Amino acid sequence: MGRIRPQSSIKAIEEEPEECETTSSNKTAIACMINSEVSAVLAVMRRNVRWGGRYVSGDDQLEHSLIQSLKILRKQVFSWQDSGQTICPALYLQPFLDVIRSDETGAPITGVSLSSVFKILTLDILDLDAVNIEDAMHSIVDAVTSCRFEVTDPASEEVVLMKILQVLLACMKSKASVVLSNQHVCTIVNTCFRVVHQAGTKSEVLQRIARHTMHELVRCIFAHLPEIDNTQHSIVRRHSSTKIEVAGIDNEYSFSSKSENGSGPSEYDSLPPSGGFTSSSTGLLSHVTEEGMVIGDNGKDSVPYDLHLMTEPYGVPCMVEIFHFLCSLLNVVEHVGMGPRANTMTFDEDVPLFALGLINSAIELGGPAIRSHPRLLSLVQDELFRNLMQFGLSMSPLILSMVCSIVLNLYQHLHTELKLQLEAFFSCVILRLAQSRYGASYQQQEVAMEALVDFCRQKSFMVEMYANLDCDITCSNVFEELANLLSKSAFPVNSPLSAMHILALDGLIAVIQGMAERIGNGSYSSEYTPINLEEYTPFWMVKCENYSDPDHWVPFVRRRKYIKRRLMIGADHFNRDPKKGLEFLQGTHLLPDKLDPQSVACFFRFTAGLDKNLVGDFLGNHDEFCVQVLHEFAGTFDFQDMNLDTALRLFLETFRLPGESQKIARVLEAFSERYYEQSPQILANKDAALLLSYSIIMLNTDQHNVQVKKKMTEEDFIRNNRHINGGNDLPREFLSELYHSICNNEIRTTPEQGAGFAEMNPSRWIDLMHKSKKTSPYIVCDSKAYLDHDMFAIMSGPTIAAISVVFDHAEHEDVYQTCIDGFLAVAKISACHHLEDVLDDLVVSLCKFTTLLNPSLVEEPVLAFGDDAKARKATVTVFTIANKCGDFIRTGWRNILDCILRLHKLGLLPARVASDAADDSEASSDPGHGKPLHNSLSAAHMQSLGTPRRSSGLMGRFSQLLSIDTEEPRSQPTEQQLAAHQRTLQTIQKCQIDTIFTESKFLLADSLLQLARALIWAAGRPQKGSSSPEDEDTAVFCLELLIAITLNNRDRIALLWQGVYEHIAHIVHSTIMPCALIEKAVFGLLRICQRLLPYKENLADELLRSLQLVTKLDARVTDAYCEQITQEVSRLVKANASRIRSQMGWRTISQLLSITARHLEASEAGFDVLSFIMSDGSHLSPANFVLCIDTARNFAESRVGPADRPALAVDLMAASASCLACWSKDAREAMAEAEALKLSQDIGEMWLRLVQGLRKVCLDQREVRNHALSSLQMCLTGVDEMYLPYGLWLQCFDIVIFTMLDDLIELTSQKDYRNMEETLILALKLLSKVFLQLLHELSQLTTFCKLWLGVLNRMEKYMKVKVRGKKSEKLQELVPELLKNTLVVMKSKGVLVQRSALGGDSLWELTWLHVNNIVPSLQAEVFPDNESGLIESDQTDVGGSAYAEAGPS
């Protein structure tokens, strides 16, 4: 037993500290309130003559029972507070309810009683703790819904009606409303609706209040739906579990049995049941008592709720009844005739709008809870949606708008249960109405488009449409159609931009931005994997293991979409040649290699776009295989519980019925078999079905063929079908229904060839409901980009085109910004899904809007650009995309570079763009970063044609505007011009153009390569001869950028190098005069080598080989830049000498240095580099030794530069011999024998090249030859540590010593050089010295004799040589002395001895033969004893001393 909870207005009483006092105070307050209400009712009753007279007329007359009960209540109400017991609310409510029920009371009395009840309800006195609260609430509802009163004037009647509405609404909003039964809730709604219905003839205020109350009731009831458990008989949750028993409920609660509130004089009672409401909707509870009133068409829902369930506390049953009633209000329109007083509510708009508004409220509040209750869900899926489809095509924009709102709400809450319904709505309503070609008015188009845009703003809507419909072979491509619709609708074709275009654009961009937002959520595969069907599997049987797991459903829907696309291609082939079409599908594994009837039947059944004539011909063919296909085809239909004409309509929609009677017979036979198998109903056998089908086709032709003049009557039709049902007649009603169905609605035997969007008709709806039971589960897509790649590939082209056209036509800032947002979203998606072609298309489109690509016709393009907001926005967007999405731009780089070049020509680029971008990697803290300082190259080599030379860079342009030209006076710029310049400057800063190049190191390889190619392409191909200054400036700028990105990408130089090298090579080969371009090319190449050699040793050869281009420069170009080139080479070598390891690299360096040897200005720097390499041998290596020797020889022979340089060059050569000795020593110590031997051979070769080089300098006409001879002697004699092979010495004598001696004699005879005699003396001494030093080793060789004779031969020649026409005295003295020394040493070494007395010693004989020619007396001097016979002596001591004597004098 709970106590009564007081209303909050009696605050003072509640605040008493003690509970007993509080309770007492509460009771007192309630007693006072009830007492005042009784007084109010009695006061009004006294004003009435009937009640007032009876009250005062004599004590013998009893008072009326109504007054008496009120007085008793007044008496008791204060005594209850003292009794201590809790009061039952029914006791103090009853007197007021009696007044409300009484038909004797007038409207004012009834009104004030209703007010009293309303007051009691709203003060929260009636809560769930009250005693017998159920009885109290039930009695209130019963009394108010059966309210009777006399009407005195219309105004007071309306007041009572309003108060009835007020009290009923208060009942539902009360905390105690949960105790009401299902039936009571239905009665409340019925009563309210009756007031709404009858208020049509009353004032506008009552109409509005009545409708508002109805809305509030529906909202109040359905707000409880989410709280209800998922059981069929669930009730609204409540605190008390007391079971309520309500007796005496009968038909008075149903709308149909009591359509007036009383009898007698009440105008309200006597209102006719006007309108169609009672005729069409006989009440919420009518089916409790009347048979045949069902909620749905399907079996489980046709069972009505039993009476017991309706008396339980309210829950789902009453909601089902109310929802069904609301849906039935929409059906009314189909049946009601529009008479003059047919209904006070106008049916064209009011009734549907009112009903749709109530339904919308119910769905908004019921929300996802509806799916937990099958009967409610079934109403939504079938009856509601069927009506929405019908009203969706209404001419009223208001109705269409409300329908779209409901569908949007249904999508939000119940999309998983409404897959095919949503498809039908978009196909048959939105896609039809949003296009003018289907006859929709502009208002309809606008509402449909607004609805579509609302759907597009739901992030997952388009993805779910694609996954569930476009990727399902049995559904249409809703996503594709909607995307195309939005794109086309955004196109302003030959008309200015309208609100509709902007609306469609908003929808399109909403879809694109949804994709862009999903990118950050991951789960998209950047590598798009194509699908291939390896083998045949029945395409209509493909199933997914788990529709809620993306790992399963994503590949599944992609595979299904692939199949669907292939089927469409197959359909296209089939329409041209059925045989080839089937062969194509076999080739793609969609049909088996050996065709079977089922697979072909399913191809016909599930593939859109087939030529229905061809399908009909195939199915009607007498060929056995075709007959089998026909029966399999019929087997794909579900005719369960379908009328025969409905089934036939569905069947004949899928192909064109052939014209030949035999084919028609075969087709109808297959249909009849299938129909009888599934829906026998009243048919006796399949023959009956066949005959009746034939009859229907004939009736259809008869009724709808204009050539048939005499139409078949109903009686004719019934007569024609006698005795066909197994010998019996079919029911007349059945045939009559068929007859009228065919007459009213033609069966189209020539269906349209997939044109447009079909209208929804009853047979299609029935088919849809059948399909919805079998369709695959609805796939719910979360916020990850699973299918965005596929979707974006479909819509990207039309989207870019649409946004571009709108942007082109737009004139308002907000439209520009919308388009820009769209462009950026497209770029982001393209980049993330690696759709390079799409990004390129976008860049091409955007570049057109920058106005930079158009050869500007305006006088001052900079000002024009500053004034054009669209161009500036487009420019910033292009460069934003280039910076953010550059990785995936390919051919688009060309367009971007065109824009950059245009800005460059206008002098608008910051200097940093043209500066070395690689500097950023060296020193990122550049204070001038981003500041548009003057551009060092912008106009360095050119003057703008027809105008004074521009100041370079942005600030230069700006200052030029402010200056006054001395030659051509100009007015001061206006404020507008200054503002335009300022805007231009800000725009270029926002573009961050330099970042494209400075950050190129982060570009993906493919994009970087395309950027480099674009630069080469933009630079153009220089032609031999002169080119315009502007072209040259462009070429220089592009080359500068190319070099910058090359330096910035040193880690990926291999990627770029080939293109860069070829471009520079082309410039070198085609340039014949010094100019800025060749200067930039040559020094850029040197700079690349300087920068990259430290990091890319594996590319050192490649880089250095490229420097050979410098050697191929035209002579005039070389002369102009030789000194600077040498300085750059010097820097290169000094910084990287240790990194140049290959012979190839050094060969290039040596070639360049050799060139400088002949150039006056460059030779000093060149020799400096050579000295750096060769001094101390610090940078000499086997790889560069020979090359350096050759280069040093070139300097030694060069006649430019200081006089002492040749001698220094010779010194460098001579000093290098020590390196050979060191290498040889290291090799013997560190290497294996085989390797050491190999290196020893190499060292020998290098030594030979060294002495050969010196030999050549020995022939120089200047006195450096003597220095060279001395150095040569030093190199030939100081070789002890080299361990040169003896064979090499023979070579050395042949090609170095002997050749040099011979050449000197020849030179002496031809030229008259200074100090030639001294040279000959030095040469001869060198010969003697080297021969004697190596005598022991050489004498072991078999060819020693030949060598010795060579020595004697030269001495003989030198004995005879003439210097300046006469023999040299010094040589005459020197030769005998050297020869004698040599013979003595040979004797002492035991080399020259007579070994045989028989004359067979050739060395001995040949020696004296030659010696005697030179100095005949020498034999006697050397061999004074003139011994004969064999001499074998080993006089090492003598030999040693003799050898010592033979040293150079």
What are 1200's two structure tokens?
Answer: 């430019």
* pLDDT range class, residue 10, cuts 50, 70, 90: very low
Q: CB–CB of 1447/1377 below 8 Å?
A: no
Whether pLDDT at 108 is above 50: yes
Alpha-carbon gap, residue 834 to 1293, rounded angstroms: 72
What is the mean predicted confidence (pLDDT) over 979-995?
91
**pLDDT tens digits, residue range 306-363?**
677 778 888 889 999 999 999 988 876 544 433 333 344 445 678 889 999 999 999 9
Q: Quick one: pLDDT at residue 659?
A: 84
What are 1068's two structure tokens?
Answer: 């070198």
Q: Is 1287 exposed, middle or buried (0-12, 13-18, 19+ CB in 10 A)?
A: exposed
CA-angle at 463, arms to 654 and 832, nearest 5°: 130
Residue from 1215, 1292, 1205 nearest 1255 by CA: 1292
Kindly report each contact of residues 979-982 with a partner whose C-beta sits within 8 Å and lies 24 or more positions away, as own/partner: 979/866, 980/862, 980/863, 980/865, 980/866, 980/867, 981/862, 981/863, 981/866, 981/957, 982/866
Alpha-carbon gap, residue 601 to 651, rounded angstroms: 13
Of residues 149 and 1038, which shows the higher confidence score? 1038
Alpha-carbon gap, residue 878 to 467, rounded angstroms: 33
pTM above 0.75, yes or no: yes
SS3 (DSSP) at 88: coil
Q: Count the Cβ atoms, other than its own, within 10 Å of residue 659.
A: 11
**pLDDT tens digits, residue range 1330-1350?**
888 888 888 888 888 888 888
Q: Quick one: pLDDT at residue 50?
A: 67
| Beta carbons within 8 Å of 1206's beta carbon, 6+ residues apart | 1195, 1196, 1197, 1198, 1257, 1260, 1262, 1264, 1267
Whether pLDDT at 1436 is above 70: no
What is the mean predicted confidence (pLDDT) over 1142-1161?
88
What is the mean predicted confidence (pLDDT) over 1077-1094?
90
* pLDDT range class, residue 527, cuts 50, 70, 90: low
Of the listed ranges 430-434, 761-765, 968-972, 1247-1251, the one predicted with least confidence: 968-972
Q: What are the angstrom distances between the C-alpha of 224 and each of 63, 165, 366, 974?
A: 46, 20, 8, 70
* pLDDT range class, residue 69, cuts 50, 70, 90: confident
Q: Quick one: pLDDT at residue 95?
A: 86
SS3 (DSSP) at 728: strand
Q: CB–CB of 1442/1385 below 8 Å?
A: yes
Torsion sign, CA atoms 1251, 1253, 1259, 1262:
negative
Whether pLDDT at 919 is above 60: no
- In angstroms, the first-to-last Cα distance of the chain is 146
Residue from 381, 295, 388 nearest 333 by CA: 388
- What ranges in 199-315 are assigned the alpha helix state H? 204-222, 267-270, 277-280, 286-289, 307-310
Q: Is 639 exposed, middle or buried (0-12, 13-18, 19+ CB in 10 A)?
A: buried
What is the mean predicted confidence (pLDDT) over 520-535?
68
Of residues 489 and 925, which shows the higher confidence score? 489
The pLDDT mean for the chain works out to 80
DSSP 489-553: HH---SS---HHHHHHHHHHHHHHHHHHHHHTT----SSPPPP---S---GGG---S-TT-HHHH
What is the mean predicted confidence (pLDDT) over 225-246?
51
Q: Quick one: pLDDT at residue 944?
A: 33
**pLDDT tens digits, residue range 164-206?**
999 999 989 888 888 888 999 999 999 999 999 888 888 889 8
Q: Quick one: pLDDT at residue 286?
A: 38
Q: Quick one: pLDDT at residue 823?
A: 95
Q: CB–CB of 932/904 below 8 Å?
A: no
* pLDDT range class, residue 458, cuts 50, 70, 90: very high
Whether pLDDT at 756 is above 60: no
Whether pLDDT at 542 is above 90: no
The percent of residues in the chain predicted with pLDDT above 70, rounded, is 82
Alpha-carbon gap, residue 485 to 504, rounded angstroms: 8
Whether pLDDT at 950 is above 60: no
Q: Quick one: pLDDT at residue 970?
A: 55
Of the listed ranges 929-938, 947-956, 996-1005, 1358-1367, the one predicted with least confidence: 929-938
**pLDDT tens digits, residue range 79-100?**
776 655 567 777 778 888 888 8
Alpha-carbon gap, residue 1251 to 1273, rounded angstroms: 9
* pLDDT range class, residue 1415, cuts 50, 70, 90: confident
What are 26's two structure tokens?
Answer: 């509460």
- Which helix (H) or strand (E) segment holds residue 1143: the answer is helix 1143-1157
**pLDDT tens digits, residue range 1189-1240?**
999 999 998 888 888 899 999 998 888 888 888 888 887 777 777 777 777 8
Half-sphere exposure of 673 (CA within 13 A, CB side): 12
Q: CB–CB of 467/419 below 8 Å?
A: no
Whether pLDDT at 289 is above 50: no
Kindly report each contact of residues 754-759 with a partner whose C-beta sits within 8 Å and lies 24 or more positions away, as own/partner: 754/608, 754/609, 756/432, 756/437, 756/438, 757/427, 757/428, 757/431, 757/432, 757/438, 758/427, 758/428, 759/393, 759/428, 759/432
Q: Quick one: pLDDT at residue 23?
A: 58
Q: What is the largest CA-CA distance in the chain?
A: 202
Whether pLDDT at 222 is above 60: yes
Q: What are the angstrom distances between the C-alpha of 179 and each of 132, 168, 639?
A: 10, 14, 46
Q: What are phi and psi of 106, to 5 degrees?
A: -85, 175
Q: What are the angstrom distances between the C-alpha of 23 and each of 9, 13, 73, 447, 461?
A: 15, 9, 20, 60, 58
Strand partners, 725: 728
Alpha-carbon gap, residue 477 to 967, rounded angstroms: 70
Q: CB–CB of 427/476 below 8 Å?
A: yes
Q: Quick one: pLDDT at residue 303?
A: 53
* pLDDT range class, residue 628, cuts 50, 70, 90: very high
Q: Quick one: pLDDT at residue 1401?
A: 67
Q: Quick one: pLDDT at residue 1397?
A: 53
Q: Quick one: pLDDT at residue 1037?
A: 92
Alpha-carbon gap, residue 10 to 31, rounded angstroms: 12
**Catalytically annotated residue among 267, 660, 1337, 1369:** 660
Question: Is 321 one of the catalytic residues?
Answer: no
**pLDDT tens digits, residue range 594-624?**
888 999 999 998 888 899 999 999 999 988 9
Whether pLDDT at 1080 is above 90: yes
Q: Quick one: pLDDT at residue 478?
A: 93
Half-sphere exposure of 230 (CA within 13 A, CB side): 7
**pLDDT tens digits, residue range 1011-1070?**
999 999 998 877 766 677 888 889 999 999 999 999 989 888 889 999 999 999 999 999
What is the mean predicted confidence (pLDDT) over 1096-1103?
80
